A = this chain, B = another copy of it.
Amino acid sequence: MEEEGEKVVSSAQLANECIVNAATVRKDLNYFGEFGTRGEGYDVKDLLYEIKRVLGLNKEWRIAVIGIGNLGSSLLAYKDFLKQNYRIVAAFDIDPPKVIGRVSEKLGKPVEVLHISRIKEVVKERKIQIGLITTPASEVQAVANLLVEAKVRGILNFAPAQITVPKGYVVKDVFFTTILDNLAYLLSNI
C-alpha cells in the first residue's frame, strides 16, 4: 500500500486483505498501542513503521545457515531475505569441501562454507543472532547444542525433529511435511 501511494487504511480494508475480522485487526494493533485516528483510519507509513518496530524488523538480523544440502543452498540463494532485514552472514557444514562447488556455482561464492567446528568462533566474530538448521533430522539436536553453546538464542529448524533448548532460547520449526499432512487430511474429508 505504501508503494502504491495509499495514505490511510481502515481496519476493514486490512481485514478484507488478510481475510480476518475487522475487530480482530483493531484489537491486535491496539494491543501494542493506539496507532489509528478515529474517523480516519491508520496512516499507512506510520502503521508500517510501528508494525516493523513491534516485530523487531527495524534492525538487521544476522543469520547462520547450518547444513548446506539442497535446502541449505536454496536458502543461501534466497534474495527476499534482504527485503526484510535478514542477512545470511555464515554457512556451515560438516564437510565444506564437498558442498563448496555446488554452492559457489549458484552464488559466485558470496558466503564461504565453513566447518561446523568453527561455529562458536564465527558467531562471536560476525555477531550471529539466529541459526537456520537444515541438516538431516538425526543431526538437529547436536547442531542446536552447538548453537546454544555459542549463545545463539534463536533457532529456525527445517528438519523434521523436535529440539529442546534451555530457557531463554527460542526454537521455531518449519515442518512443511506436517502442513502437507494437514492438506492431505483436508482433501480426504471434503
Q: Which residues of A contact B (CB under 8 A)?
A: 19, 54-57, 61, 69-71, 73-74, 77-78, 80-81, 84, 86, 106, 129-130, 153-156, 158, 160, 162, 168, 170, 172-174, 176-177, 179-190
Contact = CB atoms under 8 A, between A and B. Distances in A.
Nearest to A53: B188
A72 to B, nearest CB: 9
A116 B35 CA distance: 45
Contact of A153 (B77, B180, B185, B187): B187
B156 A183 contact: yes
Contacts of A106: 70
Contact of A70 (B55, B77, B154, B162): B77
A36 B154 CA distance: 38
A184 B70 contact: no
A156 B180 contact: yes
A183 B154 contact: yes
A60 to B, nearest CB: 10
A19 B54 CA distance: 28
A176 B179 contact: no
B170 A183 contact: yes
A56 B156 contact: no
B180 A86 contact: yes
15 contacts: A56-B189, A70-B77, A70-B106, A74-B74, A81-B177, A86-B180, A130-B183, A130-B187, A153-B187, A156-B183, A170-B183, A170-B187, A172-B179, A172-B182, A173-B179
